Amino acid sequence: MAYVICEPCIGVKDAACVEVCPVDCIYEGPDQYYIHPDECIDCGACAPECPVEAIFEDVEVPEQWKHFIQKNADFFK
């Protein structure tokens, strides 16, 4: 998995990340957006566009939001 969208996205769902994704791998869920781990090309274009700084590389997810790595994976099962 490359990038993960975490808690700050919940309730905001700005969609700026969706607009800049070159491979359209960001999908809207009921509470937040999710990045498809098999479609993401690790370009990082989405992260700086997020107005609430909710997007992190999977290895850089803050400790308090680590569970979002699994939440993201589960969304695509």
Phi, psi of 69 (to 5 degrees): -65, -45
- Write down the pTM of the prediction: 0.93
How far the first Cα of the chain sits from its last, in Å, is 14
Residue 28 one-letter amino acid:
E
For 3-75, CATH gives 3.30.70.20
How deeply is 45 buried, as exposed, middle or buried, from its count of CB atoms within 10 A (0-12, 13-18, 19+)? middle
Flag whether pLDDT at 1 surpasses 80.
no
Is 49 strand, coil or helix? helix
Instruction: Enumerate the domain spans of the chain.
Output: 3-75
- Two tokens at 47? 């992260």
Which one has a higher pLDDT value, 1 or 40?
A: 40
